[in-house]
Each structure stands twice: as C-alpha cells, then as structure tokens.
Structure 1
Amino acid sequence: MASRRIALSAALRGCSSSSSTAAATTPPRVLRATFATASSPSTLQQAATTTKSRMTTIARPVVVGRGSAAHRGGARSLGVRWSSSDTPPGTKIWSFEEIQALTSTPPSSSPSSKPRVTLIDVREPSELAQTGRIPGALNVPVASAPDSFHVPPDEFEDRYGVPRPDPAGSELVFYCKAGVRSRAAATIAREAGYANVGEYPGSWIDWVERGGKVER
C-alpha cells in the first residue's frame, strides 16, 4: 500500500522581546501527518476471494447445456466453495494403503458384486502436467469444470475421452493436492446421484511423501 508523508514545519516564535532570543535558538517543531491511499480494486477483489475460499459450504451445481454461457462460466457460474469441514455422512475415507492396493489391482480382477472403483484427480490439467498423477486416475477438474458429473454421458465422454462412470454401479474416489477440492468434488458427485463416494484426504501430498508411484 502506497503512502505519502507530508511534513509541515513551523517555527514557534515569541511575541515579547523576552522570548525572542529563546525562540531564535529553539529548533522548529515539525508536525507530520500520514495519509494512506485506498486499496486498488484488484487488491480488494483478491481479499474478497480469499474470504470466500474459507467458507465451509458448497452451492448446489446447476446443470447447464453444452456451449451455454453458464457452462463456459465454470466454477463462477456454479458458485463452488471449498470446504475443509468434517467428513459428510456416507463418505468412505481411503488411506494411502488402500489407494496403493487399488492402483495395483487390475480392474478385471475385482469381484463383480462390488461397484467398480474409479479414482479421480480433481486438480487442474496444468498441475498434473507438472507433477504427474496417481496411476490410473481420471482427471476431472472441479474448479474449471464443476458440472462434469451433471452433464449427459455423451458430453462427459467428449470432454474426457472415457465413458462417464455409472451412478448405480460405480464407486468414485476423489483426491486433489491436499484434500480440500476433493471434498467439494465428492459433494457434487453425491448431488449428481452417485451413492458410493469416497475421498483420499491425504491426496497428492500424502501420496508423494509416502513414496507412491507416479504416472506421467
């Protein structure tokens, strides 16, 4: 924040002859006042964004059609807010060991009676380009495409090149960098009709720190 100082100086001089000599030898007093300029709009907007990011609720996504203005608006049009609150009821919490076992088990060897588990990385593609991902994870970014599990199956496949997981027969496990965005994604998936939803709270940071394999 820029600041300006204005120094106002004035010598105090006596009116009587008895005080004129003392006034001549006394250094002038300096009066200072400091004025601060108002924060720029960008600074205020950044502060408002920081405040919103600490809110502990997530707005219900709105289903929008392909190419619409709301669809292009991404997270802004849907009002996604990240939450680090307690785990919602019905959400399975996955550990490092469970994710490790999941990534080392071929999908075909999973019992048919259990829902097929899909591991989903909700970070942005640019993040994955820098760090890689957990092997076998599907990248569905929650910040830029929060409506992904609400769009029709054909649109989902157009976006990501794979069929959309079946809400009735799939279990989704979300992770991000530190477990905040994955909580928001899990909430969105439940609202889209997915009953089997899980989270890996340790997410990418925990995975790398514990020596998990990386796919690039």
Structure 2
Amino acid sequence: MSLLESTGRLIASKLKNQTKLIFRQLASIVTYEEVKDVPNKPEICLIDVRRREELKETGRIPASINIPLFFLVDELEDALTLERSNFKLKYGRAKPQKDTKIIFSCRSGKRALEAEKIAKALGYTNLSLYSGSWLDWANNEGL
C-alpha cells in the first residue's frame, strides 16, 4: 500500500468518525429494540417521513404514522403546525406536544435527520432518530 493510499484511508476514516459525532450531537439515537417497543408506549410518537409510495412497496414499522418529508412540498412542517383537532383527523392520533418524545425514521436515516432539524426549529425538544430506519428494521425483522 502506498503512502498516498494509506493517508487517504486515514483521512476518510477520520471524516467518517467526525460525521458520526456530529450526527450524535444533533439528535438522540434510538435502537431497533426501542422502536420495536413503541407499540407498548403510546406516549411516544414514531413518525416515518418516507413517501407514501415507499411505504406501499416495503411496509411500515408498527405504530408509526406517515408524514412525508418532501423537498418541494414539506408536509412535515405543515403537519407539526396544524391545529390539534386537524392533526388528529388527518393522522389518526393526537398531535405531539412540544415535549413529547418523537422518533423520526425514513429509509436509511438521512431524511429522519432533516425531519429532526425541522421539528427542532418549530420548538419540539424531545427528538430522536432511528438511525438505521427502515433498512435496519427490515434486516432485524427478516424482511
């Protein structure tokens, strides 16, 4: 291995570790086991921000509600600013309070991070990410 290859790998490894550190600083990370227990904890709100078409293709995590995060039309921001009664009508559950534990998931974790930023900007304070999201769920469930 050349010095250039070795240096490149070292730099890539450091960048990867720094990215993980930044990710952890922005939001609390939850595990598969914690997400699997959400149906037993109705006080937790699990929001899947994938497009509806994705859910039709793959399925969804039990007890999750789907509020898509789009880059052109942001349904998530609109949903989190809805009146409580309208949220309940549209999504079938009570609108989370500002301090309700909300876990965001998507396909792999990237959109969940964007969703966390939006919710934080709207004043929500108890936010977590299922970093592996659907890919981790499907793997653990054998899907």
Q: TM-score range by the shorter chain?
A: 0.7 to 0.9
Q: Percent identity?
A: 32
- TM-score, length-normalised on structure 1? 0.50
- Unmatched 5+ residue regions in structure 2? 1-19
2:96 corresponding residue in structure 1: 165
User: SS state of the match for residue 135, structure 1?
Assistant: coil
- Following TM superposition, by how much is the alpha carbon of 1:181 offset from its aligned partner in structure 2, in angstroms? 0.5
Superposition map of 1:111-130 within 5 A: 116-130=43-57
> Against the structure 1 CA distance between its residues 146 and 100, is the aligned structure 2 distance closer, same or farther, given a 3 Å change threshold?
closer
Residues 166-216 of structure 1: per-residue CA shift (max 9 Å, x gap): 113x1000000010110011111111111100000100011101116x8xx
2:84/2:94 contact within 8 Å kept:
yes
Q: Which runs of 4+ in 1 moved over 4 A?
A: none
Q: Which amino acid aligns with 1:152?
A: E
1:89 corresponding residue in structure 2: 25
> Against the structure 1 CA distance between its residues 124 and 85, is the aligned structure 2 distance closer, same or farther, given a 3 Å change threshold?
farther
CA distance in 1, matches of 2:76, 2:59: 21
2:81 corresponding residue in structure 1: 150
CA distance in 1, matches of 2:90, 2:57: 21
CA distance in 1, matches of 2:114, 2:24: 11
Return the structure number with greater strand share: 1
The Cα RMSD (Å) is 2.3
Return the structure number with greater helix share: 2
| Bigger radius of gyration among the two | 1
> Against the structure 1 CA distance between its residues 124 and 97, is the aligned structure 2 distance closer, same or farther, given a 3 Å change threshold?
same
1:149/1:189 contact within 8 Å kept:
yes
Q: Which amino acid aligns with 2:38?
A: L
Work out the number of aligned pairs and report it: 120
- Following TM superposition, by how much is the alpha carbon of 1:163 offset from its aligned partner in structure 2, in angstroms? 2.4
Q: Which has the higher contact order (CA 8 A, sep 6+)?
A: 2
1:120/1:140 contact within 8 Å kept:
yes
- TM-score, length-normalised on structure 2? 0.73
User: SS state of the match for residue 86, structure 1?
Assistant: helix
User: SS state of the match for residue 128, structure 2?
Assistant: strand
Q: 1:202 aligns with which of 112, 132, 135?
A: 132
Q: Which amino acid aligns with 1:139?
A: N
